[in-house]
Amino acid sequence: MSTDKKNANGQAPKHALQSQPPPPRPSRRWYWKLLATAICLSFVAYHVTTQPEHVSPQTYALCSKEGQRIYTVDENNTSVECIVVHGARIADSGDLKYVLERAENTTGLSSIPVRYAPKGSIVLPGLSDSHCHILEYGASRQIPLSEGKTMKETVTFVREYIKANPDIEGDKSRFIEGWGWDHASWDVEEMPSSEDLEADSAIAGRPVILQSRDGHAIWVSKRTLEHNAPYPDTVEGGVIMRDEVGNPTGVFVDSAQDLITRPVLSTEDLERRFRRTVQDAHAVGLVSLHDAGLKPESLAFFKRQSEKGPLPLRIYGMTYFDEYGSYWGDSVSPFAGAADERLSARSVKIFADGALRTGGAALWEPYSDNPSTNGVMRISAEVLNKVIPRFLKDGWQVNVHAIGDRANAIVLDAFEHALKGVNVSALRPRLEHAQILTKSDMVRLGKLGVIASIQPTHVISDMWYAQDRLGPERVKELYAFRGILDSGARITLGSDFPVDEINPLKGFYAAITRVSTDGTSPHGPNGWFPDQRLTRLEALRGMTIDPAYASFTEQSLGSLIPGKRADYVILSQDIMSVALDKIMDTKVLATALDGHVVYGRL
């Protein structure tokens, strides 16, 4: 019935492990314990919201000397010469003369300093990523596994990490976790094994867990393998890789990953990961991140951090729902806007199917290059129909990972049912990925008012193999962004980092060109299915005001209009007009959150 089950004897799934979602699933052994912690900590959130707003004393006008180069992304897509920042918010906007005349009225100060954006630059609202994995990204940057060109080199990176961290080197019991290996990009495409890690003297004997780039598999060391033994013969929805005589080799695919107990991370580990993500996010202009699979321990960590001081960016969390666990929507309270609108956890993330590259996306018809399967539903229609209305009723936004046309249809059925007679703009359900939709489901998406949360960089990652997988007709329904918009549906853009790159400019570029960064595509330099390109304005809105709407924050975030928070980014050149092949040369000159520059300078 399912590819995964078929492969439960230990054969690699046909298109094993390349780019694409879901994030690793938290070990269920820890899940409930940590959920309990999260429940306790949710009381803390109420406390945090009652603290006074973090107000910057500063007031200034931010202006362009070259005319209206501040893109406000208001409802009329207006550009202005200046915005006035007063404390954490925007007090006014317009021409320099106009805002200075009004300064006393808008800020209470008779004169305000004027800061100019550098020559050639533009100002945009601070950018958002609507679908990403915050701490997992930080983990992925610690050991550069994704850069390994061979299995040996990948192992060497683990060795170097140990050598570079004396505290870890000196303590053989310390867990080593990495993310990002991709055997499909090695010189020889073969599955690694625990022996490959054991062969390195610096690694031998240590507990190691290395997550694959797409999050669909883990590669563990001998010690970890032994520690978690014995193993069942088969696992539903997963694969235990085995050698010729049937012994596990140290690679666990999909739900078999849950057989390996994850270490409980120390606060220092989590802080190190978070710092890294924050640093990289600010450097690419991101201020607002929708975490698409918040684990209870991650949420608890973010809450602890926000008590120490303002979080360095805005986190909008989708709490992971375990389809094998029980319903928790009535025992945990959703919360929004805590800690100066920097922390919210008011949505739930449900997985409907797997990923296209690995053959896990649930399709109506079999895969064109593997007719023995049409993918796997991770959750039944029955469970979806049961939990979606409950979560909505209990105040949760429901965001469902759906990639294949069958998965999207089944989820839309459930939404259609759950949304009967209710106000959809009060609930704003989302399809995460919404990759392959039949024409009629696109129409349904628009009619229902369900938001399509899409990842343009996946287009240029996947366009090279997609037609093999789907065939010449069905492939037209993959990443059909124009079709989705024409159906009247709302979109919101993300990258799925660390699955794809964190840089939102790459998503902007991919959305409007549908060519890779070297200017090529399977359909030539004009783009892969160029009719499906977004306009620059659509892409800009998809990274600013649309994510604000998709996270219920359009009243305070996502555009540079008076009353909203002063989150902005200054780019070195005008991405709204520069030649397409120059877009990727754009530099982020400054990123500001609540009026404070957190990266670069002004």
Ligand X SMILES: *[C@@H]1O[C@H](CO)[C@@H](O)[C@H](O)[C@H]1NC(C)=O
Q: If binding means CB under 6 A, how many residues of this protein chain bind ligand X?
A: 14
DSSP conformation letters of 391-443:
HHHTT-EEEEEE-SHHHHHHHHHHHHHHTTTS-HHHH--EEEE--B--HHHHH
Tell me the window of 147-155, 339-347, 509-517, 533-541 that interacts with ligand X (CB under 6 A).
533-541
Sheet hosting strand 114-116, strand order edge to edge = 89-94, 82-86, 59-63, 114-116
Q: How far is the CB of 219 from ligand X (least distance, A)?
A: 44
Judged by CB under 6 A, the chain residues 78 through 107 that form the site for ligand X are 101-102, 105
Q: How far is the CB of 423 from ligand X (least distance, A)?
A: 4
Q: Please, which residue, 80 or 300, has the CB nearer to ligand X? A: 80
Q: In sequence order, which ranges of 19-133 are alpha helices (DSSP H)?
A: 28-49, 96-101, 103-107
Q: Does 538 bind ligand X (CB under 6 A)?
A: yes
The number of residues making up the chain comes to 602
Q: Is the separation of the CB atoms in 311 and 344 below 8 Å?
A: no
| Count of other CB atoms within 10 angstroms of residue 264 | 12
C-alpha–C-alpha distance, residues 30 and 298, integer Å: 13
Q: How far is the CB of 547 from ligand X (least distance, A)?
A: 14
Q: Please, which residue, 36 or 109, has the CB nearer to ligand X? A: 109
In the set 49, 56, 58, 77, which binds ligand X (CB under 6 A)? 77
Q: How far is the CB of 539 from ligand X (least distance, A)?
A: 9
CA–centroid distance for 14 within its chain: 26
Cis preceding linkage at 498, omega within 30: yes
Q: Does 244 bind ligand X (CB under 6 A)?
A: no
Tell me the window of 109-117, 243-251, 274-282, 532-540 that interacts with ligand X (CB under 6 A).
532-540
C-alpha–C-alpha distance, residues 100 and 104, integer Å: 8
Q: In sequence order, which ranges of 204-324 are alpha helices (DSSP H)?
A: 222-228, 267-283, 296-308
Q: Please, which residue, 94 or 494, has the CB nearer to ligand X? A: 94
- In sequence order, which residues have a C-beta less than 8 Å from that of residue 75 and are 6 or more positions away? none
Q: How far is the CB of 202 from ligand X (least distance, A)?
A: 53
Between the two ends of the chain, the Cα-to-Cα distance in Å is: 58
Judged by CB under 6 A, the chain residues 16 through 75 that form the site for ligand X are 74-75
In the set 440, 537, 555, 563, which binds ligand X (CB under 6 A)? 537
Q: How far is the CB of 470 from ligand X (least distance, A)?
A: 29
Return the structure tokens found at 509: 């570029």
Q: Does 486 bind ligand X (CB under 6 A)?
A: no
Q: Does 331 bind ligand X (CB under 6 A)?
A: no
Alpha-carbon torsion (36, 40, 46, 47), positive or negative: negative
Q: Does 76 bind ligand X (CB under 6 A)?
A: yes
Tell me the window of 59-67, 448-456, 536-544, 588-596 that interacts with ligand X (CB under 6 A).
536-544
Site map 425..444 versus ligand X, x via CB under 6 A: xx------------------
Judged by CB under 6 A, the chain residues 406 through 425 that form the site for ligand X are 423, 425
- The residues that touch ligand X, with contacts defined as CB under 6 A, are 74-77, 101-102, 105, 423, 425-426, 535, 537-538, 541
